[in-house]
Chains A and B, each alone.
Chain A
Amino acid sequence: MLEISGTGGNHWYAPGVSETLDALEARISALRGEIRRAVRARDGALARELRAELRGAERAWDRAVAGPEAADPAAGTTERAGEPASLLPVREQVHQALTLIGAPAAARMIVAVHAALHAGSLGGGRLASLRRDEERSFRGAPYARPYYLCAALTDRLSASRGLFAVSTWPLERRVVGPLSPRVDFLTTAVRVAEHVLRLAEAGEPAAPGAERLLARLARNVPGATGGPGRPGVPAAPDPRTVVKAAHAELRVHAAADAAARADIAGRARARLGDAERLFGGLPLGLAEASC
């Protein structure tokens, strides 16, 4: 994806310098207009995207005006300005990240995975109101959308703090027993490692962010980093080792976790309506009753 953005960035100043500058200036003023409209429409998310794009265009203008020798194409490849992928709505981006993670995840993890594996940045703050918006949308017109970003359910059948899930997942995957955070963490490590592996097999260079994320995850999976001999040395872990080590610990937890999840899911099916099953039930009464 970075490759594409690189060529996309380059073509602005490929022909003549003055022509490029004209085109860039036109783009800059068009972007400013769009930002004004977005701000007026109170679409903060879109305005931020556009501002990022504007900054990119201005940097390109700076490079172009400084002369061709400064317009280093290598610098262009790291620019993410004008990335079409990042103009996807936030919920799409979150859905992509969650689908990759394959387990309920906190906003931090979603942002980290998204930043590492997809181009474009996803601000953590933008996820804050997402779950509430989704709930409102669902209650207004149930099942009108193909999927909803919903809550993970705790053992009191209330919405878990800060965890996002996808409504199309089976209920067992969306509930959180005592061991589930650990299991979900290991699942995340496996999925990220597999993703890096897939990229490597397809001959794509893994994004540096992805390697970093994998290293960070692997550090907390016993046996996933080359051995305990070199503490503190950030070696790039082998994705295959990570998958194997994470599966080894997953096997330890599997039975106990599955039982806890089945129990919670069963209670949720018996007691909760459609909307509550997705976005969490009434917390207080149940908290007293079920504990």
Chain B
Amino acid sequence: MLSVKHLLGIKYLNREDIALILQTADTFLDVINRPIKKVPSLRDITIVNLFFENSTRTRLSFELAEKRLSADTLNFTASSSSVSKGETLIDTVNNILSMKVDMVVMRHPQAGAAHFLSEQVDSIIVNAGDGAHEHPTQALLDAFSIKRKLGSVEGKKVVIVGDILHSRVALSNIFCLQKLGAEVAVCGPPTLIPRHIESLGVRVETNLRKALEWCDVANMLRIQLERQDIKYFPSLREYSSLYGLNAAYLESLSKEIVIMHPGPINRGIEISSDVADGPHSIILDQVENGVAVRMAVLYLLAGRQPE
């Protein structure tokens, strides 16, 4: 059983929790590849997907995971709700919970929103991304994808390339991969690498070629232009020429590496089409694995016995 009541971040999970989630995800991956992809485990559970920020993959993935588990789902997007009339987060959630909802899956632009909510309302909270803080299910599905591709995560070298400063995926990935025994490095322009990140035990590399020669897996992050209020590098073209990955670059390396991307891809900036669609890429496997991992998270959280 999981040691936590909510999934707020990878920081709060221990290694056994992560191992249990990945092991359960294996069986769900098996389920979603059968002719009948549905199981009735959560048939008496209602889950609300609260999205205060745009999302395609994560929202659809959660919704599909909920439906595959036979849960009833409610969808909420902030732009078409009373939030735009000035309602507070707690009021919004408490109103939804009085309609007898058992679980809340929430994405919010503010870091710590999921943690705050878990202290204020009586429901199971799953963090689907809070600001530039954590995105736990993405880290779990990345670890799951590495495990399925390379057999295990322990001892592997993973480099996270790009906009580390604005990335919740980077932070959750660092926690998750380290807890599973992998070595992690971050790589990007110095302006996009948070200060003191080496205190988390990660290597910092500003030269892409050096980073790629070192690693087994490269996780290419998107440049989050929507979060960048100032200029962090002179131009996208310059960024792309220094930190973008194309097939010729990949072939010039002395070994084969696995390429991942959490999506959405800016084709031609951090990664070119011939890499994204190439043989080393497991980007679409990540999306498939995402449904299985989210099913595992929802199943295990809902299955905790009441205290």
A and B part of one assembly: no
